[in-house]
Amino acid sequence: MASSKTPAIWKVSQIHTMRSKWVVAVTFGGFIMWRHDALALWAATGSVSNFILSITLKRVLKQERPFGEVSSGPGMPSSHAQTVFFALVFIIMSVIKWMGLNGATTILGILLVALGSYFSWLRVLLGYHTTSQVIASTIVGSNFAVLWFWAWEAVIFHAYNLNPWVQILLFVGGACYYIGFIFYVFWHYIKGSYFLSILLERLK
């Protein structure tokens, strides 16, 4: 796979796809800090739930990647593409709800979709996923974002304003849920890192 690409393009593409998760994290984190309210916490909880859905679908579908030597594990769906499109669709819907559908929000939506499409396309370019796997992932992530936002508008928002126990449950439960997920991701990142292998070797 790598031999069909020029070294410069291949290296740049790898850097971009590795940084895509940080771009999404910063964008979504900025949205949460901008809102810093119950909707922001609901969005963060939805992001974690979307990721769990992606991992569950991988284990159920067990569809192989196009190039097994590039990365191990099932290829359907693409967690990157699903996560990216959940975040950008939720942000777009929230901004339109707040500012209305106008020129500014339309341009913002187009830019976010273009950025998300680029990062998702890189997964195909580098051989991590097939085109159909990425397209399916963008559909799942987008639809989950629409359903999650609809749940907020139709159910959670009204219950949150009427019942203080719902407020407590959302903030405490959502915070614990999100913090637990962060520790999970961080541990799995450290567990597979080069630095941990060195540390464990020195402790022997």
Q: What is the pLDDT of residues 90-144, one digit of tens each?
A: 989 988 988 888 989 999 999 989 988 888 888 887 777 888 889 999 999 999 9
- What would the two tokens of residue 29 be? 């984190």
CA-to-CA distance for 184 and 123, rounded, in angstroms? 24
Q: What is the pLDDT of residues 79-102, one digit of tens each?
A: 888 988 998 899 899 889 888 889
Q: What is the pLDDT of residues 69-83, one digit of tens each?
A: 556 677 788 888 898
Tell me if 90 sits within 8 A of 46, measured CB to CB.
Answer: yes
CA-to-CA distance for 22 and 10, rounded, in angstroms? 19
Q: Give the helix/strand (H/E) hosting 78.
A: none
Q: What is the pLDDT of residues 156-180, one digit of tens each?
A: 888 888 888 877 887 777 677 667 7
* Stated pTM of the model: 0.73
Proportion of the chain above pLDDT 90, given as a percent: 17
